[in-house]
Amino acid sequence: MSDVMAEERFRRWHLPWKERVCEEVRTFSHGMVLRSPRHPDFWEYNCIRLDRPMEASEMIAAADRALAGCAHRLAEWTVPMPDGVVRELRERGWMATPLIFMLYDGHPVPEDRGELVEVDYDAVRELRDIWHREDFGEHTETETFHAQAREVAELADVRMIAAVHEGRPIGFAQVETHDGGSEVTQMFVRPERRGAGLGAALTAHAIRAGTEAAPEVWICAERDDRPRRLYERLGFRALVETGSAILPPPP
């Protein structure tokens, strides 16, 4: 399959999912507004989605209008955004990140490590809290955020793979499958356990789980960060540049 065809398949598979979950979907000058009143504290499902570049000040104003009543602000884009826009958003206090969606090419992955097991969604809750604080700091709705995130994840077929040491999870990967495609949506290792290959082992196991459920497996990485190189070594190739910018709720 050519990269152009793969990108088109991705857009037809990935983008409509959020539109189906959100109860409110409407267009505006630069894309769409997506809101889910049932999940107001799960930020990803209350956002503006841009299908063309937009100046930082205009993006912030559009998010303020569209997300009135939400404690956060979030903009995502489905096309490359100029680096200058990303830089200005960061200067104005937003967490702006260029992203790359990557498709698994069938490359053989390493054999499983013995400590990897499939677990219930809530078995890795402590790790989710650590990850959340690492990325966003403290905010007032952690419990609600995680509860609503679970509700949305379970609308797909979701599987959890955990690395367990002395009965306690030390890392996990999350795989979601819907509409004939799988995505490794989350992968996290406790900070003190990093650098020993556990992230690669979890990702490899998640790839196997994804390929068991669907013919295509995707993963999202920060465009300029180290995990992208890991995913490339495991057989993913970069296809679609997107990105997002979030202003989390105040502490």
Number of domains, the chain: 2
Q: What is the pLDDT of residue 103?
A: 96
Could you give the CA distance from residue 27 to residue 33 in angstroms, rounded to a whole number? 6
Same domain, 181 and 136: yes
Non-local (6+) Cβ contacts of 239 within 8 A are 3, 6, 7, 10, 100, 101, 102, 103
The string of pLDDT tens digits covering residues 213-239 is 999 999 999 999 989 999 999 999 999
End position of a domain, from candidates 69, 100, 131: 100
pLDDT (0 to 100) of residue 89: 98
Q: pLDDT (tens digit, 9 = 90+) per residue, 89-140?
A: 999 999 999 999 999 998 888 777 678 999 999 999 999 999 988 888 776 5
Band of residue 141 on the pLDDT scale cut at 50, 70, 90: low
Q: Which domain holds residue 21?
A: 3-100
Same domain, 23 and 123: no
Q: What is the pLDDT of residue 133?
A: 86
Sign of CA dihedral 176, 188, 81, 236: negative
Residue 251 lies in a domain: no
The pLDDT score that the predictor gives to residue 28 is 97
Question: Is 108 a domain residue?
Answer: no
> Quick one: 221 and 132 in the same domain?
yes
Would you state the pLDDT for residue 142?
74
Domain end (from 55, 76, 100): 100
Share of residues in the chain with pLDDT > 90 (%): 81
Rounded to whole angstroms, how far apart are CA atoms 222 and 225? Answer: 5
Residue 111 lies in a domain: no
Distances (CA, A) of 26 to 34, 53, 66: 7, 18, 10
pLDDT tens sequence across 66-97:
999 999 999 999 999 999 999 999 999 999 99
Residue 109 lies in a domain: no
Percent of the chain residues topping a pLDDT of 70: 97
Residues 223 and 173 in one domain: yes
User: Residue 244: inside a domain, yes or no?
Assistant: no
Q: Are residues 136 and 54 in the same domain?
A: no
Q: What is the CATH number of the domain that holds 159?
A: 3.40.630.30
**138, 220: one domain:** yes
d(CA 40, CA 179): 25
